[in-house]
Every structure is written in C-alpha cells, then in structure tokens.
Amino acid sequence: MRLGIIGCGAIGTDVAAAADTMKDIEKIYLHDINPTASKKLCSMLKKASIQPVEDFLKNVDVVFEAASQQAVNQYAAMVLDAGKDIIIMSIGSLFDDTLRKKLENTARKHHRKIYLPSGAVCGIDGVLAASIEKLDSVTLVTTKSPASLGKSVEERTVVFKGNARDAVKQFPKNINVAACLSLAGVGFDETKVEIVADPVETRINHKILAHGRFGRLRAEVENMPNPNNPQSSYMASLSAIATLRRVLDPLQIA
C-alpha cells in the first residue's frame, strides 16, 4: 500500500515513523504547508518523498490527514473524488454539517471510506454501540494544563461549558475528541462538554459519561502529552497508528 500524509507535525511524524516500519506500506508521500517540516520528516524516513497533494493523489491508496481543519476543507473532498480513502485526525472540521454531508456523499459516490480515529479517549466504541438504542445524555470532561489551552490561570478553572459544536469552534486544536464522541453518539448539539484548565495537571485527562437504555458508561483516561507537542496526547498518535493498521489488517476488531 502507498500512503499520503498531509501534515508533518507531531502526529504526522509519529504515524510516518510507524508506517516506515510496516512491511505492507511500500511508499510514503509527505506534504506540509511548511516545507521545513516535510523536509525534516523526510530525512528521518527510508520510504518517503515530498510531493504536493495534487501530485501524489494518483500514486497513493490512502491519505492520512494530521494538519488542520483548514486542510480537511481544502483536501478531503479532493482525496475522495480521486477514489482514495482518507483518515481524518482534525475531526473538529466535521462540525460543519454542510462539509460533513458533502464528504459522506462523495465517499458513497466513489465507494470510499472516511476513517475517524478515536484519538485520545477510550469508550467511543461503547457510545457507538449504545447509540443503536436511546442515549439520554453524553458528557465529555477534559482537563489540561492552562498553557496547552492557551490560558493563564492560577487555580483549577472551568474555561468552557456548553455543547460540542461550540467547544470545537472555540478550541479547534484541543478538543477533536468531542467531535469524534459527538459523531458516535448524540450529535454536536446534544453532546455536553466541559473543559478545565488546571495548573497542577501534568497529564491530559478525558472522562466520558453516558447513560441511556443500555445502562451507564464511564470511561476515563489520563494521557501523557506528546513529547513533540504538549497540546496533543500521545494516545492520539497511537490511535492514528492503530487506525492505519486497521486499514491494512484483514482481521478487524469491532
């Protein structure tokens, strides 16, 4: 399989490094809006080369996006129209209902898949299964250091409380997990989100609470920050790598 990667930051670097060791991946194509980032990453890999997305599309089987919501807007439909699957990390972009429906329709038209890694949280699979029946409520509580949220506070402070749609708009780089949870469960407008800035917090904490006809679900994970980007959990990179392996692996754990 040949892989295209859009975005050579912390997550893109982790995924590219893992892909470089996978025997089922024969070639990796890199693109980043910052040429220095793509050149640096390319120098670390054996299978990689740098090409614009428009050029590498004809050569790849799957595209992995780890750049930004803007990159999803710019490239996702183009990837699907080219008859390629796409893995989207900037899931917050899908709060735009018009964009999401366009991508879904384009994927159906070309019989392609849009993969959304669960990212830095656990329990998404349970929420997805529970949504088959009635879900009464789904809540995400995220706690991070103030610096990773772009805030300056001296004590534990709730910096956001509302629905997932507004959370994704206000914290586009920090709360992709809310977007994934919303799509799995009750939607952007009904999913409740609380974001907490805690100056003594050294890890990134995500807690999912859900209840409905299935019963009650409580899932909590304390993630180490990615060493290359403290705003992102290392678990997000691992989830992305696991999704890539899922694309390759004939054995699927659902």
Tokens of 41: 């990453």
By DSSP bridging, strand 85-88 and strand 114-115 are parallel
Beta bridge partners of 195: 142, 160
Q: What does the alpha-carbon distance between residue 228 and residue 145 come to, in Å, rounded to a whole number?
A: 16
Beta bridge partners of 218: 209
Q: What does the alpha-carbon distance between residue 172 and residue 68 come to, in Å, rounded to a whole number?
A: 9
Nearest to residue 167, comparing CAs of 199, 189, 200, 143? 189
Positions annotated as catalytic residues are 206
Per DSSP, the residues of 87-153 read: EES-GGGGGSHHHHHHHHHHHHHHT--EE---TT-S-HHHHHHHTTS-EEEEEEEEEE-TGGGT---
Nearest to residue 221, comparing CAs of 74, 81, 108, 122? 122
Q: What does the alpha-carbon distance between residue 168 and residue 91 come to, in Å, rounded to a whole number?
A: 9
User: Residue 202 carries which DSSP code?
Assistant: -
